[in-house]
Amino acid sequence: MKTDPKNELQGYLDSLIYDTQPDPTPPAPLSATPRRDKYLARWKPLPDRLGEALAKFPLDLIADGLHMDQVWPLVLGRQREKPRAFEVAAALRTLGWQRVRYYQDSAPSLTLWFPPETDPTAAKASMKARKS
């Protein structure tokens, strides 16, 4: 006597089905450890990471301008511990920040980054006052 192969296959597939009741315990969050948080943070675009870091600065410090040495160590790099300085500069430009340089014959030059709403001539005036 022959058995129907479709019935055998269906019986086998039915035996593979397991209980689909939801698990009462909630799933663990994606960022369960600080190491994983650091890893996931590296995969955000650099301008986003930089914007989050700059949001932590006091407004009066930002208004006076930021030197690259103040900004650069705040963000994590993707492949390296810290991004390259030119990558941070490009991200600042993407965010609308502007680099202002002040030269004086008797002193070394001063280069600071200012937010988009700052006027470059006012920035140079504040840099001149700072150097004096």
**Structure tokens given for 84:** 């390259």
Q: How many domains does the chain have?
A: 1
Residue 84 falls inside a structural domain: yes
Rounded to an integer, the average pLDDT of 40-67 is: 87
Q: Is residue 2 part of a domain?
A: no
CB of 41 closer than 8 Å to CB of 75: no
DSSP three-state, residue 109: strand
DSSP 9-59: HHHHHHHH----PPPSSPPPPS--SHHHHHHHHHTS-HHHHHHHHHTTS-H
Give the model confidence (pLDDT) of 75-105 as tens digits: 877 777 888 889 999 999 999 999 998 887 7
Query: Structure pTM?
Result: 0.66
Residue ranges making up the domain that contains 69: 45-132
